[in-house]
Amino acid sequence: MDTGLKGKRALVCAASKGLGRACAMALAREGVAVTITARTADVLEATAAEIRAATGSPVIAVAGDITTEAGRAAALAACPDPDILVNNAGGPPPGDFRDWDRDIWIKALDANMLTPIFLIKAVVDGMVARRFGRIVNITSASVKSPIPTLGMSNGARAGLTGFVAGLARQVARHNVTINALLPGPFLTDRLRGTTAALAAKSGRTLEEEIAERAKGTPAGRVGDPAEFGDACAFLCAASSGFIVGQNLVLDGGAFNSTMG
Ligand code: NAP
């Protein structure tokens, strides 16, 4: 498939590791010049070098916290007119909602709802003017199937999803699409971290605990981040302009439904 993305520019947020990194790698493979962000500068620089070496595409690394105004300004200064925006940030912590005060909630809303909305606000009019734009929000399978311990993730991401459902339909006629990718379990540092905590409780090894997670998906395994990156590149392809406001679950079939 020719994605028609050669020479386009992408801003991929929270992309030194895991799913964001995989999206940046897949886009760079398609000839996209990518700007990647993360808070930890040395890890980010190393990722930028890996993507450059693997793809030959230009990669700019911008260290900063994307959930802050300063972090977003720095990212946008390096990539002011992206053709592609991949919204991503760390997920909120698990817990019991009775323990969460207003400040904790605001942090989750900032990271997983307002930051993507402000970045979309900064770039969408330019995309409309250029008649090409692809915005992909990395959310979570929890948007469709809530995870009891991740109440803040369930709530904040559903808020983003509701907002975007309306906006996506306002910009689609200008060849600007907004869609979301909803990951189930993908083998990233985040999954390793949350699974290590479970392993500590169950007495199993990390590998055994990951194998347990894998059994929970009809595919019988956890996802490879590279598969997620390829799905992102597909949504960004020039020929994907008719895919509008969709929420694509990538979970090996774990969400049990006949359709949707
Ligand atoms: P990961 O492997 O831990 O990678 C997270 C990346 O985001 C790192 O590059 C991290 O670098 C960067 N990052 C985190 N907070 C940031 C911030 N405030 N500003 C800039 N960069 C930031 O995580 P992942 O598994 O790829 O997860 C990505 C998103 O998908 C998260 O929201 C997660 O909750 C969600 N998700 C993941 C899974 C899964 O199975 N992996 C499932 C459902 C949902 P720094 O720490 O250096 O900033």
Q: Is 21 exposed, middle or buried (0-12, 13-18, 19+ CB in 10 A)?
A: buried
Does an H or E element contain 1, and which? Answer: none
Q: For the residues 65-78, what does the mean pLDDT come to?
A: 98
Residue-wise pLDDT tens digits, 28-59:
999 999 999 999 999 999 999 999 999 999 99
Q: Ligand 1 pocket, 3 CB below 6 A?
A: no
Look at residue 72 in the predicted model and tell me its pLDDT. Answer: 98
Look at residue 189 in the predicted model and tell me its pLDDT. Answer: 94
Report whether pLDDT(166) > 80.
yes
Ligand 1 geometric centre to CA of 161 (Å):
18
Look at residue 60 in the predicted model and tell me its pLDDT. Answer: 98
- Backbone φ and ψ for 87, nearest 5 degrees, come out as -90, 130
The two beta strands, 9-12 and 59-63, are unpaired
* Cβ atoms within 10 Å, residue 37: 28
Report whether pLDDT(61) > 90.
yes
54-63, 193-202, 218-227 — which is least confidently predicted? Answer: 193-202
Q: Ligand 1 pocket, 189 CB below 6 A?
A: yes
Ligand 1 geometric centre to CA of 225 (Å):
12
Look at residue 194 in the predicted model and tell me its pLDDT. Answer: 86
For 3, 20, 105, 242, 249, the CA distances from 260, given in Å and listed in that order, are 25, 25, 29, 17, 9
Q: Ligand 1 pocket, 88 CB below 6 A?
A: yes
- Residue pointed to by tokens 């956890």: 222
Look at residue 11 in the predicted model and tell me its pLDDT. Answer: 99
Q: Ligand 1 pocket, 195 CB below 6 A?
A: no
Report whether pLDDT(102) > 90.
yes
Look at residue 38 in the predicted model and tell me its pLDDT. Answer: 98
